[in-house]
A and B are shown apart, each in its own frame.
Chain A
Amino acid sequence: MYDMKEQTAVVEARNLNLTFETNDGPVHALKDINLTINKGDFVSFIGPSGCGKTTFLRVMAALEQPTGGSISVNGMTPDEARRNRAYGYVFQAAGLYPWRTIAKNIKLPLEIMGYSKAEQERRVNQVLELVELSGFGGKFPWQLSGGMQQRASIARALAFDADILLMDEPFGALDEIVRDHLNEQLLKLWARTNKTIGFVTHSIPEAVYLSTKIVVMSPRPGRIHDVIDSTLPKERPLDIRDSPEFIEIAHRVREGLRAGHGDD
Chain B
Amino acid sequence: MKSLVAVLTVLAAIIAFWYAACVPMNIKGVLDQAERAGMEVTPATAKERRDRGEIGLVVNNTFAIGDTWVQERPRLPAPHQVAVELWETTVEKKITSKRSLIYHAQVTLSATLLGFAIGTGLGILLAVGIVHSRVMDMSVMPWAIVSQTIPIIALAPMIIVVLYSIGVQGIIPKAVISAYLSFFPVVVGMVKGLRAPDAMQLDLLKTYNANTNQGFWKLRLPSSMPYLFASLKIGIAASLVGAIVGELPTGAVAGLGARLLAGSYYGQTVQIWSALFAAAILAAALVALLGLIEKLVLNRMGVRA
Q: Hey, which bits of chain A sit against chain B, CB under 8 A? A: 61-63, 82-83, 85, 87-89, 91, 93, 95, 97-101, 108-109, 111-113, 140, 142, 160
Instruction: Name the interface size band of chain B.
Output: 10 to 19
| Chain B residues touching A, majority SS | helix
12 extra A-B contacts, CB within 8 A, seeds A62-B206, A112-B214: A63-B206, A82-B206, A82-B209, A88-B207, A89-B204, A98-B301, A99-B222, A99-B303, A108-B208, A108-B218, A109-B208, A140-B302
Contact across chains for A83 and B209 when beta carbons are under 8 A apart: yes
- Nearest CB in chain B to that of A100: its residue: B302
- Nearest CB in chain B to that of A157: its residue: B207
Contact across chains for A87 and B218 when beta carbons are under 8 A apart: no
A-B contact number at CB 8 A: 53
Known: A91-B204, A93-B200. A101 touches B302 (CB 8 A): yes
- Nearest CB in chain B to that of A91: its residue: B200
Known: A97-B219, A142-B304. A112 touches B208 (CB 8 A): yes
Q: Which residues of the partner chain B approach A87 to less than 8 Å between Cβ atoms?
A: 207
B203 to chain A, nearest CB (A): 5
9 contacts between A and B (CB under 8 A): A61-B207, A83-B209, A88-B207, A89-B203, A95-B201, A95-B204, A112-B208, A112-B214, A112-B218
Q: Which residues of the partner chain A approach B304 to less than 8 Å between Cβ atoms?
A: 98, 140, 142
Q: How long is the Cα–Cα vector from A160 to B210 in the complex, in angstroms?
A: 13
- Cβ 8 A contact of B200, one of A95, A112, A160: A95
Q: How long is the Cα–Cα vector from A98 to B208 in the complex, in angstroms?
A: 19
Q: Which residues of the partner chain B approach A98 to less than 8 Å between Cβ atoms?
A: 301-304
Q: Which residues of the partner chain B approach A109 to less than 8 Å between Cβ atoms?
A: 208
Q: Which residues of the partner chain A approach B214 to less than 8 Å between Cβ atoms?
A: 111-112
A154 to chain B, nearest CB (A): 13
Contact with A along B205-241 (1 / 0, CB 8 A): 1111110001000110010010000000000000000
A236 to chain B, nearest CB (A): 28
Q: How long is the Cα–Cα vector from A251 to B207 in the complex, in angstroms?
A: 35
Q: Which residues of the partner chain A approach B200 to less than 8 Å between Cβ atoms?
A: 91, 93, 95
Max chain B C-beta neighbours (<10 A), residue from A85, A87, A108, A160: A108
A63 to chain B, nearest CB (A): 5
A115 to chain B, nearest CB (A): 12
B197 to chain A, nearest CB (A): 10
Q: Which residues of the partner chain B approach A113 to less than 8 Å between Cβ atoms?
A: 208-209
- Nearest CB in chain A to that of B300: its residue: A99
A173 to chain B, nearest CB (A): 13
Contact across chains for B208 and A99 when beta carbons are under 8 A apart: no
Q: How long is the Cα–Cα vector from A89 to B206 in the complex, in angstroms?
A: 10
Max chain A C-beta neighbours (<10 A), residue from B204, B206, B218: B204
Q: Which residues of the partner chain B approach A83 to less than 8 Å between Cβ atoms?
A: 209
Q: How long is the Cα–Cα vector from A63 to B303 in the complex, in angstroms?
A: 30
Q: Which residues of the partner chain A approach B209 to less than 8 Å between Cβ atoms?
A: 82-83, 85, 112-113
B301 to chain A, nearest CB (A): 4
- Nearest CB in chain B to that of A88: its residue: B207
Max chain A C-beta neighbours (<10 A), residue from B204, B207, B210, B225: B207
A177 to chain B, nearest CB (A): 26
Contact with A along B1-36 (1 / 0, CB 8 A): 000000000000000000000000000000000000
B26 to chain A, nearest CB (A): 56
Q: How long is the Cα–Cα vector from A91 to B205 in the complex, in angstroms?
A: 12
Contact across chains for B203 and A63 when beta carbons are under 8 A apart: yes
Contact across chains for A82 and B207 when beta carbons are under 8 A apart: yes
Q: How long is the Cα–Cα vector from A113 to B206 in the complex, in angstroms?
A: 12
Q: How long is the Cα–Cα vector from A61 to B301 in the complex, in angstroms?
A: 31
Q: Which residues of the partner chain A approach B222 to less than 8 Å between Cβ atoms?
A: 97, 99
- Nearest CB in chain B to that of A156: its residue: B204
- Nearest CB in chain A to that of B211: its residue: A112
A112 to chain B, nearest CB (A): 5
B229 to chain A, nearest CB (A): 13
Q: Which residues of the partner chain B approach A82 to less than 8 Å between Cβ atoms?
A: 206-207, 209
- Nearest CB in chain A to that of B214: its residue: A112
Q: Which residues of the partner chain A approach B225 to less than 8 Å between Cβ atoms?
A: 99
Q: How long is the Cα–Cα vector from A62 to B203 in the complex, in angstroms?
A: 10
Q: Which residues of the partner chain A approach B219 to less than 8 Å between Cβ atoms?
A: 97
Contact across chains for B210 and A99 when beta carbons are under 8 A apart: no
